[in-house]
């Protein structure tokens, strides 16, 4: 038998059932070999590339042309080297925003090319509540590409996550969340301070602490001291006024369906954090405890202090309890006291965070929907919706998703 030639066959046209089967029939009848194959369908239009090995008689090419003519498909051929293309490490670049325009994609593509990277595949993860795409990039110098991408998109209203593609990225098993201004939209201590008549004073201290401008323990004890005298009725009003972040229920429910464990760790307070954990089905919870005497807050903390280092320690403890590495953990937070745990996790995400947190986290999410983090983990929105639709116990709470319908 003569030496086979390698030919890249590119098939384009309207998609319909039976095209792949018909192509395989032609290749089988002409004794061609299949070396590689990829297919994608966009808006009903098929693009199918097959790398084949053929003998030199040309019968395979003529039969494929005939098949294309009968099937209303355009078939192109390109002779290629039989030597396999050397593989390079692959990185996953996730792009997220309320809108991602051609200028945004252009800036990203130029930064990748300038870093000697090559985009091998692009596919859409979601249309709403945020638009997101995943780009698979062949790249040797990931750090160089990361620097170029961050610089190219710094002034654009989009978020990027850049991760080495591999087993660790695909084996996330635990998500650890901050509570205040992450899992929920409120700062509970500010709500309590409002009940104590010290709202503005405590809010100012909170903002300063979250920006990293003052010692955390000092700021927390100072704020808690302003809560002296708040009674059970006031605390019940605070609990009922907590607003869960849009998409939080979808996020937690989807993680549990995927078999991931969830944990919350907060510099806030056990009374409220534990209630949220029970309500949402979260597996682990740790937070500070307010001292209460005769049903009234004393203005002091009870028990251990949960600060930034303790959050990171808690992440390690839960990972150890679950028998996993910290590289398999995703951590999400917004304030300076979350930096330790974001650094400890395999993927640390700054969620609508203060500048100091954005600058030091692996990536940032600026859209106000917690379930957008799923897209950074490679989860498609269609898969989430299909799972919800198939589940008879699906919770139709309006908190799950953004009102309205997805764009076309």
Query: Which residues are known catalytic residues?
Result: 178, 180
Say how many CA atoms lie within 13 Å of 51 toward its Cβ. 11
59 CB-near residues (< 8 Å, 6+ apart): 30
Q: Is 361 helix (H, G, I), strand (E, B) or coil?
A: coil
Q: Tell me 272's DSSP state.
A: H
Cα 10 from Cα 146, distance rounded (Å): 33
Cα 22 from Cα 404, distance rounded (Å): 42
Please, what is the Cα angle at 330 between 359 and 386, to 5 degrees? 120
Cα 343 from Cα 350, distance rounded (Å): 11
Q: Which helix (H) or strand (E) holds 134?
A: strand 131-138
Please, what is the Cα angle at 133 between 129 and 139, to 5 degrees? 150
Beta bridge partners of 177: 264, 332
Token couple for 284: 């682990």
Chain CA centroid to CA 138, Å: 21
Cα 364 from Cα 158, distance rounded (Å): 9
């Amino acid at each position: 038998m003569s030496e086979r030639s390698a030919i890249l066959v590119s098939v384009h046209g309207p998609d319909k059932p039976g095209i792949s089967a018909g192509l395989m029939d032609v290749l089988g009848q002409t004794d061609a070999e299949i070396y590689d194959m990829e297919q994608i369908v966009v808006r009903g239009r098929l693009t199918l590339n097959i790398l084949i090995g053929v003998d030199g008689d040309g019968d395979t090419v003529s039969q494929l042309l005939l098949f294309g003519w009968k099937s209303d498909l355009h078939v192109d051929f390109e002779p290629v080297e039989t030597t396999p293309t050397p593989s390079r490490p692959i990185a996953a670049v996730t792009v997220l925003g309320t809108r991602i325009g051609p200028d945004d994609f252009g800036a990203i593509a130029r930064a990748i090319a300038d870093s000697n990277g090559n985009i091998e595949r692009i596919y859409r993860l979601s249309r709403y509540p945020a638009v997101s795409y995943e780009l698979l990039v062949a790249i040797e110098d990931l750090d160089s590409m990361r620097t170029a991408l961050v610089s190219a998109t710094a002034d654009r209203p989009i978020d990027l996550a850049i991760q080495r593609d591999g087993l660790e990225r695909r084996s996330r098993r635990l998500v650890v969340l901050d509570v205040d201004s992450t899992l929920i939209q409120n700062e509970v201590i500010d709500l309590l301070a409002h009940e104590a008549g010290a709202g503005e004073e405590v809010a100012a201290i909170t903002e300063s602490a979250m920006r990293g401008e003052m010692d955390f323990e000092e700021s927390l004890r100072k704020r808690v001291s302003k809560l002296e005298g708040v009674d059970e009725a006031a605390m019940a009003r605070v609990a009922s006024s907590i607003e869960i972040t849009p998409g939080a229920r979808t996020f937690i429910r989807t993680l549990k369906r995927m078999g991931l464990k969830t944990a919350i760790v907060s510099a806030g307070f056990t009374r409220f954090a534990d209630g949220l954990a029970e309500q949402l089905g979260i597996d682990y919870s740790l937070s500070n405890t307010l001292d209460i005497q005769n049903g009234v807050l004393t203005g002091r903390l009870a028990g251990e202090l949960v600060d930034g280092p303790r959050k990171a320690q808690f992440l390690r403890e839960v990972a150890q309890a679950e028998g996993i590495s910290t590289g398999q953990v995703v951590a999400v937070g917004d304030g300076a006291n979350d930096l330790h745990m974001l650094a400890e996790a395999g993927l640390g995400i700054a969620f609508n965070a203060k500048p100091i947190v954005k600058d030091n986290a692996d990536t940032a999410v600026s859209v106000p929907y917690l379930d957008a983090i799923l897209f950074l983990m490679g989860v498609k929105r269609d898969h989430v919706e299909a799972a919800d639709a198939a589940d008879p116990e699906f919770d139709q709470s309006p908190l799950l998703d953004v009102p309205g319908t997805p764009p076309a």
